[in-house]
A and B are shown apart, each in its own frame.
Chain A
Amino acid sequence: MTATKTVTPEVVREHGLSEAEYEKIKSLLGREPNYVELGVFSVMWSEHCSYKSTRAHLKKLPTKAPWVIQGPGENAGIIDIGDGDVCVFKMESHNHPSFIEPFQGAATGVGGIMRDVFTMGARPVASLDSLRFGEPSHPKTRHLVAGVVSGIGSYGNCMGIPTVAGETAFHKSYNGNILVNAMCVGLARKDKIFYSAAKGAGNPVVYVGSKTGRDGIHGATMASAEFNEDSEEKRPTVQVGDPFTEKLLLEACLELMATDAIIAIQDMGAAGLTSSSSEMADKGGAGVEIDLDKVPQRETNLTAYEMMLSESQERMLMVLKPGREAEAERIFRKWELDFSIIGVTTDTHRLIVRHKGEVVADMPVTSLSDAAPVYERPFVKRTPMTGEPGFDASRPVMDSLVRIMGTPDMCSKRWVWEQYDYTVMADSVQRPGGDAAVVRVHGTNKGLACTTDVTPRYCRADPYEGAKQAVAEAWRNITAVGGVPMAVTDCLNFSNPEKPEAMGEIVAGIEGLGEACRALAFPIVSGNCSLYNETQGEGILPTPCIGGVGLLKDVNRMASLAYKREGDAIIVIGETGGHLGQSVYIREIEGKEEGACPPVDLALEKKNGDFVRTLVESGTVDTVHDVSDGGLLVAIAEMALAGGIGATLRMNYEHDRFIPVFFGEDQARYVIAVPEKAADAVIARARKADIYARHLGYTGARSDGGEPVLQGVGLPPVTLARLRAAHERWLPEYMAGKS
């Protein structure tokens, strides 16, 4: 990158700014911007940083509740979990960098979201990752899976934060645009929360952490554009992570946060120094002056442009109380981190940047935030897909079950999560593989239930209903472990908003999220949008990923999905209509992606879920699984495999109804297992509450040889060994190059 260039229309275009945007910049500044200023605007007005295509619609989301302390607009969202404890959490995408350079893209995605949490004063206690890859047969998929999983593990493990949940799924629409959505959950005290608003003039602006280099320049702009054949050249835009330094940074920040020296603090993420300085000033109603000569540099001859746009990792920007600089510096030097006073807050409301004695950038702070464009892009809402797909009713159910359990989406993801330390911090009460992870709130008996969910094929069939379903499933998963769902962080992954149909998916998706969050009292407190997930004109399935967090008042009153005893009654809560549209069964066994997606009745979700939760909270039930992908029989199989205990189903259905009943993906359902002597009482309780409950069978089935089996009326026995082999085999064999 040359030190400074003349700003020509070509240069403006290269910076991802439209002519109209450039005109607006000129009018805000009252003159032409220089090259540094152009760079600053290009990142701050990028889709990734400004949300210009979605801001108008995101306003419609419910973000408040009595337990919400901080909604969207800060580094992370915050909810009150009682006793002076708060939970701080957020999910963010790192899709484009991970496609280009999977290890570092994923690693820095994890690092970035952790910083967003601890910048608010919270010690991170859990990591989750929702991953979407292209079809397994695509030549890049294996490499991307290996890199991403390795990258996530390398960062999280070194940080010593357990990676406890997530999803890993495959679909050809992600062939050119994988999704890596990283979520972090942290804990803080209510009276020790740190915000980013840099209030007041004359306060020192301090840079701490790693030195600045040339990595990641224009990372934000890269994340705001589609890929084409030349995308590989974008590799220098991917940031490089150092989890060792971030661990030191975490401890140093928490140590300083134990004092009252900090006025404001924000991590340097996308658009690095530019975004942190301008956002902090903007929120505080202040101005900021920065001297780039004071920025710790790890390369020689860094230009002002490079320093303002660098996305070097593991850096924070703080505003301290005057006089506290030495105290703060002692802490950061102890942890062997760079510490430099690089500027001061002012009352001019301007961002002024100096380098080598000259002013190289000077603009109103609001020009970067409030004045950033907001687009009401034209949109067309597609007609939802309808109809019930045809299927061959004679296909043997149990053979189909075994096949489904071994498909890429449904198989065990043990290959993934055994590469993550999920037990560090000694508070992981429920580990990967369940409905939701549960992490004990350290030193208490409370637990945080965390999950990530979305069903993209539903969202393509019906973007509105599919988005509702994502929220409902996250809500169910938290409920299934006995938690009270409290709030959501979302990661909205969509394709090109400049195309009306894609914009229609975004608008409908946001509306669906809003309806579900409102009905379930599950507000959105933080989140992220990732648009332009499109390559050579092919966009991804709409993928609004929901990160849910809930609270268990007592982790000793918790449910998990494994069958625990032989002879338990298996009961389904919630009625099965046999909805096969957009089901895993139809896709994997009939080879079609057809039909209407299952409708979501939010009132019913709440009714059924609240009932199940009271069963868990009262200690009546300890075994629950929500029913989702694959339907009822898959849920039952998953419970059997987790517990190593078989099951006999004694449901009587007409044979031609088997497939819809066992594989339909009707929503608002849970399977529970309870000692037989308690079963009648549970069903009676359900009936009294006007909840559908049906006794399906019993746990504990064994073959003549004593092997645990899954079997039923009209369902020949399948050994758990055969199911387990199918379930566990696919992913390790695929990654070893064998399938």
Chain B
Amino acid sequence: MKSAVVVFPASNCDRDAAVALEQITGTKPTMVWHGDAEVPKDVDLIVLPGGFSYGDYLRCGAMARFSRVMADVIAKSNEGRLVLGICNGFQVLTEAGLLPGALMRNANLKFVCRPVGLKVEETQNVFTRRYDAGQIVHFPVAHGEGNYVADEDTLDRLEGEGRVVFRYAPGDNPNGSMRDIAGILNEKRNVLGLMPHPERVCDPLLGGTDGKVLFEGLVEALS
């Protein structure tokens, strides 16, 4: 399985994503500079990592969306390659129109870092195929703008098409997102965006391995 991690100016979870990918897929991902024309031609999975790309200038992900390499990321996602956007990566995906909705400021207006319970709502997709539907997992969140919003029609569509993949467990929503949404799929189900960090829970020493299952699912799907 060939993966790539895009590095925007002030992405800061790129190494974390690369370490998780290497450990679980067995292959080092290519680190792709935002200014490059394209990601590697044969890539299976493109990861947009967490961080504060462009210092969150204007809106989180608003500038990164226009990075040179994004044209190819969009093209490849349209072809059906897999794209995983984590935290700031999710924000970039919504800004780029690869996912609907927007990530607004946390309801309590503060940055929040803590482990959260997530319900895996949906497992009919490459990302969460190895979880059990309805399973509760724990990933850490660390964000100031994770409050997912969309109009009612979009939300209904997401629910109706089984595209809400992760939902914050009852009482555990850290940012006030609508319908407690934590992660969603695009229509073609090849692009996943989520605010919590699966790459930070792949090691029992760090508090759990719930995140590992996501990457293992990808390896399985692509082999």
A and B interact physically: yes
CA distance A418 to B54 in the complex (A): 23
A297 at the interface (CB under 8 A from B): no
Which residues on the B side are within 8 Å of A245 (C-beta)?
A: 55
Q: Are B9 and A335 in contact (CB under 8 A)?
A: yes
The answer to whether B114 touches A244, judged by C-beta atoms less than 8 angstroms apart, is no
CA distance A153 to B110 in the complex (A): 10
- What residue of chain B has the Cβ atom nearest to residue A417's Cβ? B113
Among B74-82, B195-203, B213-221, the stretch that binds chain A is B195-203
CB <8 Å contact, B199 and A426: yes
Q: Report the stretch among B12-20, B123-131, B163-171, B183-191 that lies at the interface.
A: B12-20
Return the chain A residue nearest B33 by Cβ: A334
Interface residues of A in 302-359 (CB under 8 A from B): 334-336
- A401 vs B113: C-alpha distance in the bound complex, in angstroms? 29
A719 at the interface (CB under 8 A from B): no
Q: Mark A398-418, 1 if CB is under 8 A from B, else 0.
A: 000000000000000000011
Chain A residues with Cβ under 8 A from B52's Cβ? 157-158, 160, 243-244, 247
Is A425 a contact of B16 with CB atoms below 8 Å? yes
Chain A positions 233 through 276: 1 when the CB is less than 8 Å from some CB of chain B, otherwise 0 = 00000000011110110000000000000000000000000000
Among A159, A424, A440, contact of B205 (Cβ-Cβ < 8 Å): A440
A242 touches B206 (CB 8 A): no
- Residue-by-residue, is A100-128 near B (CB-CB < 8 Å gives 1, otherwise 0)? 00000000000000000000000000000
Interface check B24, CB cutoff 8 A: no
- Tell me the complex Cα distance, A579–B52, Å: 49
Which residues of chain B come closer than 8 Å to A420, judged between CB atoms? 111, 113
Q: A153-B111, A244-B57, A419-B112 are in contact. Are A424 and B206 (CB under 8 A)?
A: no
Indicate if the CB atoms of B140 and A423 lie closer than 8 Å. Answer: yes
B residues 14-54 near A (Cβ < 8 Å) are: 15-16, 19-20, 35, 50-52, 54
Contacting pair B19 A426 (CB below 8 A) = yes
Q: Is the CB of A423 within 8 A of B142?
A: yes
Residues of A within 8 Å of B, CB-based: how many?
32
Interface size, chain B (Cβ < 8 Å)? 31
B110 touches A419 (CB 8 A): yes
**A 145-181 binary contact with B (CB < 8 Å = 1; else 0):** 0000010011001111000000000000000000000
B10 an interface residue at 8 Å Cβ cutoff?
yes
**Docked pose: A552 CA to B157 CA in angstroms:** 52
Task: Please give me the residue from chain B that is nearest to A248 by CB atom.
Answer: B9
Q: Check if A495 is an interface residue, CB within 8 A of chain B.
A: no
Q: Which of B51, B205, B206 has the most CB of A within 10 A?
A: B205
Interface check A421, CB cutoff 8 A: yes
Interface residues in A187-244 by Cβ distance below 8 A to B read 242-244
With A158-B52, A158-B55, A243-B55 as given contacts, are A248 and B113 in contact (CB-CB < 8 Å)? no
What CA separation (Å) do A111 and B141 show in the bound complex? Answer: 23
Tell me the minimal C-beta distance from B142 to chain A in angstroms: 4
Whole-angstrom distance between the alpha carbons of A424 and B113 in the complex?
A: 10
Partner of A247, one of B10, B144, B202, B203: B10
Q: Which positions 40-91 of chain A face chain B at CB distance < 8 Å?
A: none
Q: Which residues of B contact A418 (CB under 8 A)?
A: 112-114
Residue contact A244 to B54, C-beta cutoff 8 Å = yes
Complex: how many Å from CA A702 to CA B52? 46
Q: Does A424 contact B9, Cβ atoms closer than 8 Å?
A: no
- Looking at the assembled complex, report how far the CB atom of B216 sits from the nearest CB atom of chain A, in whole angstroms: 17
Question: Which residues of A sit under 8 angstroms from B20, Cβ to Cβ?
Answer: 426
Chain A nearest CB: distance from B202 CB in Å?
A: 8
Contacts of A426 in B (CB 8 A): 16, 19-20, 199-200, 202-203, 206
CB of A429 closer than 8 Å to a CB of B = yes
| Residues in chain A near residue B197, CB distance under 8 A | 423
Would you call A421 and B16 a contact (CB within 8 A)?
no
A425–B19 Cα distance when bound, in Å, is: 10
Q: Which residue of B lies closest to A425 (CB)?
A: B16
Pick from A336, A421, A423: contact of B111, CB under 8 Å:
A421
Verify A419–B113 contact, CB threshold 8 A.
yes
Interface residues of B in 66-114 (CB under 8 A from A): 110-114
B contact residues vs A (CB 8 Å cutoff): 9-10, 12-13, 15-16, 19-20, 35, 50-52, 54-57, 110-114, 140, 142, 144, 197, 199-200, 202-203, 205-206
A-B contact pairs, 16 of them (CB 8 A): A158-B56, A160-B10, A160-B13, A248-B10, A335-B9, A336-B9, A423-B200, A423-B206, A424-B12, A424-B16, A425-B16, A426-B200, A426-B203, A426-B206, A427-B206, A429-B206
Chain A residues engaging chain B, CB cutoff 8 angstroms: 150, 153-154, 157-160, 242-245, 247-248, 334-336, 417-429, 440, 555-556
**Which 10 A-B pairs rank lowest in CB-CB distance, beginning with the nearest?**
A160-B12, A244-B55, A421-B142, A158-B52, A426-B16, A247-B10, A423-B140, A421-B113, A244-B10, A419-B111
Extra inter-chain contacts (6) besides given A153-B111, A423-B200, A424-B142, CB under 8 Å: A244-B55, A418-B113, A419-B110, A423-B206, A424-B50, A428-B206
